Amino acid sequence: MIDLNKTLAESSDCEFKEMLEVKKPKSWLKTISAFANESGGVLIFGMRDDKTVVGLSDIKGVIDRVSKILKEKIDPQPKVDFKVDKTEDGKDILILEVSSGKDTPYYYSSDGNKIAYIRIGSDSQQASSNRLNELILKGKNLSYDQLTTDIKIENISFTIFNSTFKRIKNINLSLSDYKAFDICKKDGAVTNAGLLFSDECPILQARIFCTHWDGLDKSGGIDDAIDDKEFEGDLISQLMQSHDFIKMNSKVRWKKMSNYRINKPDYSDRAVFEALANAIMHRDYSIVGSEIHVDMYDDRLEIFSPGGMPDGSLIQDKQIEKVDSIRRNPLIADIFHRLNYVERRGSGLKKICNEISNLYDYSEEAKPKFESTQSSFRVIMKNMNYKLATLTEKTENMTDINRKLTDKKDDVTDIINIITNVMKKKLTKKEESFIIMLLPYLERNEWITNKTAREITKLSEISVKRFFRSLTDKMIFISKGDNKARKYKLGISLKISTDT
């Protein structure tokens, strides 16, 4: 008797069929196509989805019909092992173990049409055009970065590539090295990997867009974005420039101890570098009109890259420590390894998790998240210095201010109404909140500095500057002085008549 539990445990995917549908074979043939095109799987006949065994009445006849239909409808023929199991109550079930195939794509043929299927979660779906192209390359034992172009090595330059190898490995690269790296072929024809590492990479979709958003989403605050950059050209420069962008737009706080201090960065620098390198190595460069996106928010960093898991699985369904190393672009990965950017054994995601876990104040809540679809992969890192307590403190501060002003006839609503109606200026909700927090101070003092506003609102220096700049442009505030001596006052008096 077969150990069914062991079979299911060892399978990366499984599907159950109560009976063999001969008249509608597509329901199970597309699953076999998907299993063969990706990481394999198990198809069990005679069992319901809830694992209730119903059994098959003619097990030999079922095997003969499955074999016959497979030969007629699946091309090329996948490797399928038939196993029969008899349950304790004497019921027969048929287990089809479908191996991951090397001759992809495996098509389901019907009515003159040929369709390749892949697994998306627990479903078998038709492969997209990009995924189909990947399967075709896989069947030829090729990857996108290995494809040869019609550009010759003597017609492009590798200044950054050469200088990086000289600096890191102390090697002066020669034509023989380019051939060894498969940057070009014996006849000098450059591969896609060669184009991607060339100084002026002509592959338009090989770009990285970096944006530092104002707030927790893309709707923005006063300014939609605090900073944004677009990087193109060779992959080494893109990696370094996007890494520098994140460093420039994040902070390293510190905590003073008795005789030393503890650095508290927003993000693990090594984890960020690893995530960027992985995005560049494993993205699908065949998806035209796409690019890597780096999005920084107040509470997190997201790195999005085109192309899902190479085997079609979903990363959120896997245990990170058990994810197999499958390199979508082996030439790029090999060069990054030679430059000591990554490790060869494919431990990128585990390394990201380990580096983040070493940060001060780490907890399970700060664990990075990995998400994928058929056509994308996303890494999400929490900002270690973003605290919910900060928001609570601001809320409590606002409540306290409103409570103090409630007893006055000249309450908050009157003041805001005067600003908006008399001055004919429209304020955002965030601008209103900013003004309200400053009102008690402005009632006692005509002028306020950036430093005082930061102490009252608990906002960052850059946020306070943006508020004052926006409100000054709207002439709500008037400013005088330069740089650190600059100060602000409201463009109207807070002494509202009590006769109204």
CATH classification of the domain holding 393: 1.10.10.10
| Whole-number pLDDT of residue 335 | 96
> Among 382, 407, 426, where does a domain finish?
382
List pLDDT tens digits, range 93-141: 999 999 999 999 999 998 889 999 998 878 899 998 888 999 999 999 9
What's the rounded mean pLDDT across residues 411-429? 61
CB atoms within 10 A of CB 220: 14
* Domain match, 228 and 351 both: yes
- What's the pLDDT band for 394 if we cut at 50, 70, 90? very low
User: For residue 320, is it within any domain?
Assistant: yes
* Domain match, 300 and 426 both: no
* Domain match, 346 and 400 both: no
Domain around 21: 4-139
Residue 11 has pLDDT above 60, yes or no: no
* Domain match, 230 and 378 both: yes
* Domain match, 367 and 395 both: no
| Whole-number pLDDT of residue 138 | 92
User: For residue 255, is it within any domain?
Assistant: yes
Sign of the Cα torsion 240, 244, 245, 246 reads positive
Q: Report the CATH number at residue 278.
A: 3.30.565.60
Strand order, beta sheet including 448-449? 448-449, 487-490, 477-480
* Domain match, 40 and 64 both: yes
Partnered with residue 292 across adjacent β-strands are 208
* Domain match, 393 and 425 both: yes
* Domain match, 124 and 222 both: no
Residue 344 has pLDDT above 70, yes or no: no
Higher pLDDT, 427 or 12: 427
- What's the pLDDT band for 485 if we cut at 50, 70, 90? confident
User: For residue 414, is it within any domain?
Assistant: yes
Residue 493 has pLDDT above 80, yes or no: no
Question: How far apart, in whole angstroms, are the C-alpha atoms of residue 40 and residue 38?
Answer: 6
User: For residue 69, is it within any domain?
Assistant: yes
| Whole-number pLDDT of residue 8 | 55
Residue 404 has pLDDT above 60, yes or no: no
* Domain match, 401 and 326 both: no
Higher pLDDT, 120 or 63: 63
Cα 446–Cα 450–Cα 454 angle in degrees, nearest 5: 110
User: What is the pairing mode between strands 369-372 and 252-256?
Assistant: unpaired
Partnered with residue 423 across adjacent β-strands are none
- What's the pLDDT band for 220 if we cut at 50, 70, 90? low
* Domain match, 394 and 364 both: no
What's the rounded mean pLDDT across residues 348-369? 92
| Whole-number pLDDT of residue 484 | 75
| Whole-number pLDDT of residue 458 | 86
- What's the pLDDT band for 416 if we cut at 50, 70, 90? low
List pLDDT tens digits, range 290-322: 999 999 999 999 999 999 988 778 899 888 888
| Whole-number pLDDT of residue 103 | 95
Q: Report the CATH number at residue 37.
A: 3.30.950.30
| Whole-number pLDDT of residue 210 | 97
User: For residue 392, is it within any domain?
Assistant: yes
Q: What percent of the chain has pLDDT over 90?
A: 57
Task: Please count the structural domains in the chain.
Answer: 3
| Whole-number pLDDT of residue 440 | 84
| Whole-number pLDDT of residue 393 | 47
| Whole-number pLDDT of residue 307 | 92
What's the rounded mean pLDDT across residues 40-46? 94
> Among 104, 139, 174, where does a domain finish?
139
| Whole-number pLDDT of residue 500 | 34
Task: Tell me which of 63-77, 238-252, 334-348, 370-384 is least confident.
Answer: 334-348
User: For residue 46, is it within any domain?
Assistant: yes
Burial of 434 (0-12, 13-18, 19+ CB in 10 A): buried
List pLDDT tens digits, range 421-467: 544 467 788 888 888 888 888 888 889 999 899 989 888 888 898 89
User: For residue 202, is it within any domain?
Assistant: no
Residue 18 has pLDDT above 80, yes or no: yes
- What's the pLDDT band for 257 if we cut at 50, 70, 90? confident
Q: What Rg, from alpha-carbon coordinates, does the chain have?
A: 31
> Among 112, 139, 166, where does a domain finish?
139
* Domain match, 249 and 368 both: yes
User: For residue 180, is it within any domain?
Assistant: no
* Domain match, 367 and 427 both: no
| Whole-number pLDDT of residue 425 | 60
- What's the pLDDT band for 399 if we cut at 50, 70, 90? low
User: What is the pairing mode between strands 14-17 and 41-45?
Assistant: parallel
Q: What are the φ and ψ backbone dihedral angles of 464, each rounded to 5 degrees?
A: -60, -40
Residue 221 has pLDDT above 90, yes or no: no
Higher pLDDT, 479 or 494: 479
- Give Cβ neighbours of residue 265 (< 8 Å, ≥ 6 apart): 250, 251, 252, 253, 359, 384, 385
